């Protein structure tokens, strides 16, 4: 049986996947939602990848689903366990030797405020590090770069679930020499305010040499559109669809 392995972004945990996990399980799918040691200053990307590998030990037919900052972690997992498919959802795409905190500048992220806040948060070891919320943003409001398409109660809970994110993973170069030889799909969200669609189209084309798939929604489709995202993942997991 295929196992969907859900890897959270910076300062997030398994809760941020809970609606998607419920949807996948209702469809009879096996799911592992991983909590990373994001608050541990001794843990870097290798430790994050080790945590995922340990969580899926002994399972077959793995589909890794990586959100946002997890784009730096998921490829490392592919070196540790056999992976059938890697799905990047609104994710960062690294280059060999690139420090995550430098990714914003290197990719030419269009919003200087977001770029500066992310860099400063990562250097300070604050949360939510790779995805820092501007102080003026109220969860679910027009200024919110994360949860603008969620119901107010869910947006507030999602924001309240941010964990402390150590800056350690952001300060170490991405250790892989090349992207893993694993089938890869990229799914961007057209209303994403953190990683705008035109920006991600360019990043994916330049760094992965492919065109991303697209769906409606903001940066957290696992909370705003779990049924649609589950359908996408099921489609990706079918061998004929690759």
Amino acid 36: pLDDT:
98
Q: 146 or 91: whose pLDDT is higher?
A: 91
pLDDT band at 133 (very low <50, low <70, confident <90, very high): very low
- Mean pLDDT, the chain, rounded, equals 89
- Looking at residues 218-239, what average pLDDT do you find? 96
Rounded to whole angstroms, the Cα distance separating 196 from 219 reads 9
- Enumerate domains of the chain plus CATH numbers: 3-109+169-241 (3.40.50.1820)
Out of 74-83, 136-145, 158-167, pick the least confident: 136-145
Counting Cβ atoms within 10 Å, is residue 229 exposed (0-12), middle (13-18) or buried (19+)? Answer: buried
In this prediction the pTM is 0.90
DSSP labels, 120-164: HHHHHT-TTGGGPPPTTPPTTSTT-SSSTTS-HHHHHHHHHTPPP
Q: What is the pLDDT of residues 180-197, one digit of tens each?
A: 999 999 999 999 999 999
Give the highest mean pLDDT range of 107-116, 138-147, 221-230.
221-230
């Amino acid at each position: 049986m295929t196992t969907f392995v859900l890897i959270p972004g910076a300062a997030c945990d398994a809760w941020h996947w809970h609606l998607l996990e419920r949807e996948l399980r209702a469809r009879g799918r096996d799911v592992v939602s991983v909590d990373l040691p994001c608050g541990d200053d001794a843990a870097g990307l290798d430790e994050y990848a080790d945590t995922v590998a340990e969580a899926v030990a002994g399972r077959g037919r793995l589909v890794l689903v990586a959100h946002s900052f997890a784009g730096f972690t998921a490829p490392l997992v592919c070196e540790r366990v056999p992976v059938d498919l890697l799905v990047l959802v609104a994710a960062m795409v690294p280059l060999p030797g690139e420090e995550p905190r430098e990714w914003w500048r290197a990719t030419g992220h269009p919003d200087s405020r977001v770029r500066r806040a992310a860099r400063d948060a990562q250097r300070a070891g604050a949360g939510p590090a790779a995805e820092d919320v501007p102080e003026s943003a109220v969860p679910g409001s027009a200024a919110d770069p994360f949860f603008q398409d969620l119901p107010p109660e869910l947006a507030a809970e999602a924001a309240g679930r941010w964990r402390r994110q150590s800056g350690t993973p952001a300060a170490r170069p991405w250790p892989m020499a090349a992207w893993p030889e694993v089938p890869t799909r990229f799914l961007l969200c057209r209303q994403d305010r953190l990683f705008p669609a035109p920006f991600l189209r360019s990043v994916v084309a330049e760094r992965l040499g492919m065109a991303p798939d697209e769906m409606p929604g903001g940066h957290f489709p696992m909370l705003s559109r779990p049924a649609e995202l589950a359908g996408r993942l099921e489609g990706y997991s079918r061998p004929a669809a690759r």
